[in-house]
Amino acid sequence: MTLVGKRHVDKAADVLTIFGISGDLAKKMTFRALYRMEVSGALKIPVVGVALDDWDDEALRKHAREAVESTVKEIDGMALEAMLARLSYVQGDYGDDATFERVKEALGGAEQPVFYLEIPPSLFATVVKGLGKAGLVDHAHVVIEKPFGHDLESARALNAELREVLEEEQILRIDHYLGKEPVLDITYLRFANSILEPIWNRNYIAHVQMTIAEDFGVDDRGRFYDSVGAMRDVIQNHALQVLGLIGMEPPSRNDHDSIRDQKLDFFKAMRIADPRHYVRGQYDGFLEVKDVAPDSTTETFAAVELEVDNWRWSGVPFFVRAGKNLPHKTSEVTAVFKRPPLLGIGHGKTPEPNRMTFRIEPEPGAQMRMFQKRAQGDDSFEPADMTVLFEEEPGCDPEPYERLLGDALHGNHTLFTRQDAIEETWRVVQPLLDDPGPVHPYKPGTWGPAEANSLVNGVTHWADPWLPEA
């Protein structure tokens, strides 16, 4: 049972209401997730879509069918029909009380609604207040899409507005990275293997590096992306949440808060970032993207060094880079161990350091790079990689939105970000937002501006990502 102030949210949801059902995220992700939930038997309740568009139930179903057809390869026709039959539509302006009265009517006698807000952030508070005024939130959970604020102050202000109507336990803040199976695997690999724990600290690890790279540009998201940039779009949230799992202490109980408490402690120990250790880049051609300001200085690439002041991590730099139009679509985090000393083997050469990589995509997996004697008589070293591919091992399903929506329907908070962690992560990056420094141009298809290499100079070089075998 989830305690919500004096309210009790003790049953699974009996209706899912999606604000922003006609938007891009719904088209690309939500209908696919709903369809997959229908196939797996996880979707058993009505789904009410709300938007401004002049649609009716049939128009929504047509749109949903097209969205599923364009995102799912082999469709189970019966499951698709069953999912479509759950959909109904409420048209309305979010600023108008009458919209919420119509939503109330559409919910019928539902007692435990989940409201999913996939709408522009400027409308989050308006919708939550509208729901409150219509008396719809007493036993509700409200799922809020990212971004949650655009800096520390706005995240606090947004939260204060939501809290006028909702208890913290009713707010489920989405970071879809936390719903990725390989991200969940990080915690299991770290803590279910006793050989890792003794070496997972500053005595053995020299530095950590993380890359979130995409091999495409901003495409049709110019307006949104120009107002955020790489730091706000993926580093403050996705990258830091993953580093939280890499760096946290083991959770002590299997409840909604243990992992979130441990990540929070890790974030609290993170120093505020230093703008001198921050590099921003912008790919050539970004200024020509539709809806991007012609003189925009928004970064499409960011690289930063972060530091953590605690017993486990003091003195271990965490280097993070993320960007659009880089050479590959890949997302990984690597712990690089200390170099072995010069040895009386291997032709007087020092072996390279070991590294342990968690690959989130493509082909999720983990790899420990060891070294062995080169085969056939040569006395030098060569890499000997120990690799686990999660697709063959723990498996890759369910997909992030499918998992997170399913968790929301059961009031399971574990994979949603709490306000305290959101504030800590904004605290860490705030100096970079206040003093972003220049933005350096880079050519699409390269690893960002050359300045990103200076960031790691003297400590390491950015490792080539671990890519699937061709």
Choose between 127 and 218: whose C-beta lies nearer to ligand BG6.
218
Provide the β-strand partners of residue 210: 320, 333
DSSP string, 395-446: --PSPHHHHHHHHHHTT--TTSB-HHHHHHHHHHHHHHHHS---EEEE-TTS
Helix (H, G, I), strand (E, B) or coil at 351: coil
For ligand BG6, give the closer residue by CB, 214 or 424: 214
- Active-site hit among 63, 238, 256, 413: 238
Task: Work out how close the CB of 332 gets to ligand BG6 at its nearest, in angstroms, rounded to a whole number.
Answer: 11
d(CA 252, CA 256): 11
Rank residues 233 and 402 by Cβ distance to ligand BG6 and give the closer one: 233
105 CB neighbour count, 10 Å cutoff: 9
Minimum CB distance to ligand BG6, residue 166 (Å):
23
Both tokens assigned to 63: 């749109």
Q: How far apart are alpha carbons 382 and 132 in whole angstroms?
A: 63
Asked if 347 is an active-site residue, the reply is no
Q: CB 221 → ligand BG6: shortest distance, Å?
A: 7
222 vs 353, beta carbon nearer ligand BG6: 222
Does the N-terminal peptide bond of residue 362 adopt cis geometry, omega within 30 degrees of 0? yes
Distance in angstroms (rounded) separating the CA atoms of residues 71 and 69: 6
Q: Tell which residue, 174, 171, 183, has the closest CA to residue 210.
A: 183
Residue 469 near residue 334 (C-beta atoms within 8 A): no
CB 333 within 8 A of CB 242: yes
Nearer to ligand BG6 among residue 237 and residue 354 (C-beta): 237
When computed from its CA atoms, the radius of gyration of the chain, rounded to whole angstroms, is 24
Position with the least CB separation from ligand BG6: 233
Residue 204 has phi, psi (to 5 degrees) of: -120, -30
Tokens of 352: 């390279």
C-beta closer to ligand BG6: residue 165 or 235? 235
At its nearest, how many Å lie between ligand BG6 and the CB of residue 390? 15
Residue 58 and residue 17: Cα distance in Å, rounded? 17
* Single-letter amino acid, residue 59: A
Binding residues vs ligand BG6 (CB under 6 A) = 214, 233-234, 331
Smallest distance, Å, CB 69 to ligand BG6? 21
CB of 326 to ligand BG6, least distance (A): 12
146 close to 29: Cβ distance less than 8 angstroms: no
Which sequence positions are flagged as catalytic? Answer: 238
